[in-house]
Chains A and B, each alone.
Chain A
Amino acid sequence: MRTDDLVAMLATGAGAVEPNAGARRFAVAIGWGALGATLLMGILLGVRGDLAMAVRLPMFWVKVAYVACLAAASLLAALRLSQPGLRLSWVSSALVAPVLAMWLLAASELMRADPTQRTQLFFGETWASCPLLVAALSAPVFVAVLWAMKGLAPTRLRLAGSAAGFVSGAIGALVYCLHCPEMGAPFLGFWYLIGMLVPTAVGALLGPRLLRW
């Protein structure tokens, strides 16, 4: 087939294209993924018993804001990485900022704490299970976001896969906040982050293979 014939073939009956395909596809993916993660949390873990009391503590909302900011920034990164020619620019800083803020808070908590309490602040009660549970809750969003990307056109596949993993980790962590009893900044700054980085690494590994087009 000559190139002119291909051009004619592609143009024939091409029709109109709905705008904002990327945003719409991601909205669907995040909606279903978050629903899946919430159901998974409800079935496997259940909401923490003292949630009604926890929501009155400022630290609960600091925790939610930390994870929500990471989810928003990584969602934007994933969306931009799914469309050819869009640069990340300031989005990378928006990803780092919440982590730095949490680390600052953690440092001040550790300094003010009694030396014998510091290990407890860092490890909490649930350090061994927290990263695994966050990673497990990320699975529905992970699958959904990869589906969304598959229908778009990521050109940097490893980075796009990582971003997909990080969004899913952050939304998994957001849902996990409803179950998790931990409130210490050192705990959140380390173990939550590890939990989110697990799907990120899986995404970096799978991206080049799964996202080709």
Chain B
Amino acid sequence: MNPSEERLRNLLILGLAGDEPTYHAFLRELSAHLRAFLRKRLARLPDEVEDLVQESLLAVHNQRHTYNTGQPLTAWVHAIAKYKLIDLLRRRAKLDQFTDPLDDEIDFLSSADNEAADARRDLTRLLEQLPDRQRLPIIHMKLEGLSVAEAARVTGMSESAVKVGVHRGLKALAAKIRGDT
């Protein structure tokens, strides 16, 4: 088995159990693998790579509850990255230009690319478009690092409204990226 599979899988399992620094390490390492995977498949659209890395990371985070701990991590991440890649290609409606085979999850974790280019789409700008009940909890909890209780005090919202706001806000962000809103 690929050593990265074992390592990343353990990081994610600890992360899902609530270990935040480990979850951070998981996402950081995963972004390098996602970048290598997507750069190879978007050779003709190099400007889209970093945007799609970010979109895939957001998808992995928003859908992390669908990972089964008994399942190979590679299969799960690959399915998400491939789904987001195809979604992008459909959006661009230029599928016929792309001839690289997509079914190559075997070597997904064997390459990594740590050189992040700049994303063209600015998520901060999209974040600003969210309604206050979602934007404020994200800013206080996710960007400033306040606890739920602190964020609730600062915003005057209830603690459950803060949690729901973060959850729905990140999903709304993904929808904005897709152009659904």
Contact = CB atoms under 8 A, between A and B. Distances in A.
Interface string A111-134: 000000000000000000000000
B20 to A, nearest CB: 6
A9 B31 CA distance: 14
A58 interface: no
A155 B27 CA distance: 21
Nearest to A151: B65
Contacts of A93: none
A212 interface: yes
Contact-residue size bin, chain B (C-beta under 8 Å from the other chain): 35 or more
Contacts of A15: 18, 20
Nearest to B170: A10
B53 interface: yes
Interface string B47-77: 0001001100111011111111101100111
Interface stretch (A29-37, A38-46, A69-77, A78-86): A78-86
A84 B54 contact: no
B163 to A, nearest CB: 9
Interface string B18-59: 101101100110010000000000000000001001100111
A16 B118 CA distance: 31
B147 interface: yes
Interface stretch (A18-26, A139-147, A163-171): A18-26
A212 B80 contact: no
A16 B80 contact: no
A17 B24 CA distance: 15
Contact of B68 (A3, A7, A86, A155): A86
Nearest to A87: B75
B104 interface: no
Given A11-B27, A152-B63, A16 B78 contact: no
Interface stretch (B1-9, B92-100, B137-145, B153-161): B137-145
Interface of A: 1-4, 6-19, 21-22, 82-86, 152-153, 155, 212-213
Interface of B: 15-18, 20-21, 23-24, 27-28, 31, 50, 53-54, 57-59, 61-69, 71-72, 75-80, 82-83, 87, 116, 118-119, 122-124, 127, 138, 141-143, 145-148, 166, 170, 174, 178, 180
Minimum-distance CB pairs A-B, first 9: A16-B18, A85-B75, A84-B79, A11-B24, A21-B65, A85-B79, A153-B63, A85-B76, A1-B123
